Structure 1
Amino acid sequence: MEARHLRYALALAEHQHFGRAAASLGIAQPPLSSQIAAVEREVGERLFDRTRRGVFPTAAGTAFLERARRALDEMGAAMVDAGRAARGETGLLRLGFIGSALLDPLPGVLGRFRRARPDVRLDLGEMSSPDGTAALIAGGLDVAVGRGGPRGPGAEGLVTVPIGSDELIAVVAATHPFAGRRAIGLGQLAAENLIVSPPDQEPAVAARLRSLFDSAPSPLDCATTSRDIHTTVGLAACGVGVGLGPARMRRLERGGIWFCEVTPRVRLPDLRLSFRAADRSPVLAAFLDVVRANCREVGSRLDDVLARHPAVRGNEQPG
């Protein structure tokens, strides 16, 4: 039994006449009569009483028509849902990110995506750059935002694009001797108790810091570790030491702290967005479109990376 058979039965019940029902359907009366008879044979019950006054549903027909209406409504809804899913208007996006990305650019990107795709469910989680890469490769994430390029087995199947640059800054308590200074030098930092991310949290940042403080013993050997920038700022505010982090850390507003530039200027590994090159999810494509719109300088980079990536070249590209 096909959907058209259900529509034929509903039209006949509405018009109570084979001729009028056939005209409303745009078919001749004989084919309609034969199709209704075929439906009745398939159901095994008489669905309509044919009388001189008209054609009326039987008890079996009434029950059949009620289900037929619901079935056609469900089929229509299924077509709508399929179209929305194909356009990335529904579904799930799983995003892993490092904490500093919540300062910039994720607030603008996620806010814009939520407004554009309110029915897409977001599964968001803060995690280290290595954990984000591992989850992305394993299929547990759709997008990962971290520092430095993804590494390890399977990383060659990822598309990665820079979405933000940063330089190293220091944060101290308002009572610290450095408070009030515009900048402090690396030599001055080497004599302080430092607050830094643990090496397993941000390996690319740890390697950059290790290259700056290469003396033996290094001030990093006894540094206090902090797994997120909020903790770094909080520990600095408590007078534990000098916190080191990305310049976007300045966006954290709280009293009792002071930010200082570090001289000479130290550029940190770029903030990067990564996703699987083979992922053809419409939701991912919609998210990348929002990234392009919100971070305009990223759009050309992303298109260039997609054009050159061996796992993408020759296939339809996300977005």
Structure 2
Amino acid sequence: MRPTFRQLEYIVAVADTARFGMAAEKLGISQPSLSSQIVEAETDLGVRIFNRGRHGAVMTQQGAEIVRRARRILHEMEDLRACVTGDGIFDGRLRLGVLPSIGPYLLPGVVRRLHVDHPNFRLVVREESTADLELGLRSGRFDMILSTPEDHPGTLQIPLFRETLWAAIPKDDPLAGDTGPLPLASLAGRNLLALGSRHRLSGMVSEIAALANARVPDEYEGTSLAAILLMAAAGAGIAILPRLYAATDARRRDDIVLRRLDTPKAERAISLIQPAAFEARLGSDILASALSEEALQLMAPI
């Protein structure tokens, strides 16, 4: 059968590294051997998969589709092996894409717990924006993602938890005099700080700003929750944060006050999401349960 399973692995390795040399090193073979196998696969398929140049290997339009399908075939083979061993996603590597507003706070405890019962479990995590998580799931870069379910239609989703949004207010601000729920009317005319536009959280903050007659300044888009929290502490505005982050890192600061936004619009759902299939991958329920339990523990009363 052409291309061979091994050639598919080579194709994906080149796509992941964008360099023949790096892909060969990753695979533990010589670059000439890798190149000859890619050329052979291209000949059998009758298309060019990569354009070679000084800037590395760039996928052609047809090559991108071949890579996407190659990833799917390799994933199916991994599932076949997992089905035989009975340990599902925990027998080998799971590539998980996560929102940067969730991953660093939720995953460490979950991974420690799962490794006790599944020592072979290898979790490869990448933090990306909502839009990039969607692209990564569709292209096969990710096996699963942790994200907001409404942004990934046509996928298999396991609900995990819901979290409210909180306002981080400088301590010298009049709104910091109270710790109760914050009415939207109190935000009128204020600057609300949020992540960049490729993040779902940015759209939520914009919607809240419109309801409160507040504004999201164009001159600043946060690259991380820590960055917008620092800006808020410096008096640049009020940072809007998801509860998981507010209940962990943000609550440790002594220069801001946290208040829950008092509106149904200030809430988001988080799900474990994988490509649509006949059924969830074996072990998905165990991972989802661990994620849900950890989130509930972390989101203790602020």
TM-score (structure 2 length as normaliser): 0.59
Asked if 2 retains the 8 angstrom alpha-carbon contact of 1:132 and 1:144, the reply is yes
Q: 1:200 to 1:244 in 2, by over 3 A?
A: same
Distance (Å, rounded) in 2 between the aligned partners of 1:297 and 1:90: 22
Look up the SS of the partner of 1:239 in the other structure.
coil
Please give the secondary structure, in 2, of the residue aligned with 1:141: coil
Deviations 1:69-128 (A, max 9, x none): xxxxxxxxxxxx989855345311101111222366434432222222222222111111
Instruction: Work out which of the two has the higher radius of gyration on C-alpha atoms and give 1 or 2.
Output: 1
Q: Count how many residue pairs are aligned between Structure 1 and Structure 2.
A: 210
CA distance in 1, matches of 2:197, 2:237: 18
| Native 8 Å contact 2:95 2:125 kept in 1 | yes
Q: Determine the structure 2 residue equivalent to 1:113.
A: 114
Within-5 A mapping of 1:293-308 = 295=292
Secondary structure at the counterpart of residue 184 of structure 1: coil
Report the equivalent of 1:78.
Answer: none
**Could you tell me which residue of structure 2 aligns to residue 292 of structure 1?**
289
Q: What is the DSSP-based 3-state SS (H/G/I as helix, E as strand, rest coil) of the residue aligned with 2:260?
A: strand
- Does the Cα contact within 8 Å between 1:84 and 1:90 map onto a contact in 2? no
Letter in 2 for 1:179: A
What amino acid maps onto 2:227 in structure 1?
T
Residues 158 and 272 of structure 2 are in contact (CA less than 8 Å); yes or no, is this contact kept in structure 1? yes
Equivalent-residue separation in structure 2 for 1:150 and 1:261 (angstroms): 24
Query: Cα offset for 1:136?
Result: 1.1
Q: 1:229 aligns with which of 195, 220, 225?
A: 225
Q: Separation in 2 of the partners of 1:95 and 1:146?
A: 11
Number of the residue aligned with 2:41 = none
Aligned to 1:260: 259
- The CA distance in 2 between the partners of 1:111 and 1:279, in whole Å, is 30
Going from structure 1 to structure 2, the CA distance change for 1:256 and 1:90 (only over 3 Å counts) comes to: same
Distance in 2 between residues matched to 1:220 and 1:294, nearest whole Å: 32
1:178 aligns with 2:179: no
Structure 1 unaligned segments of length 5 or more: list them.
Answer: 1-80, 299-319
Q: Show structure 2 runs of 5+ residues with no match.
A: 1-80, 296-302
- Does structure 2 conserve the Cα–Cα contact (< 8 Å) formed by 1:194 and 1:223? no
1:97 equivalent to 2:98? Answer yes
Aligned partner (choices 195, 198, 213) of residue 200 of structure 1:
198
Q: Secondary structure at the match of 2:247?
A: helix
2-side partners of 1:200 and 1:125: how far apart?
A: 16
167, 187, 190: which one aligns with 2:188: 190
User: Taking every aligned residue pair, what percent have the same amino acid on both sides?
Assistant: 22
Q: Secondary structure at the match of 2:199?
A: coil
**1:278 aligns to 2:277 (yes or no):** yes
TM-score (norm 1): 0.56
C-alpha distance in structure 1 between counterparts of 2:277 and 2:268, whole Å: 26
Match of 1:87 in 2: 87
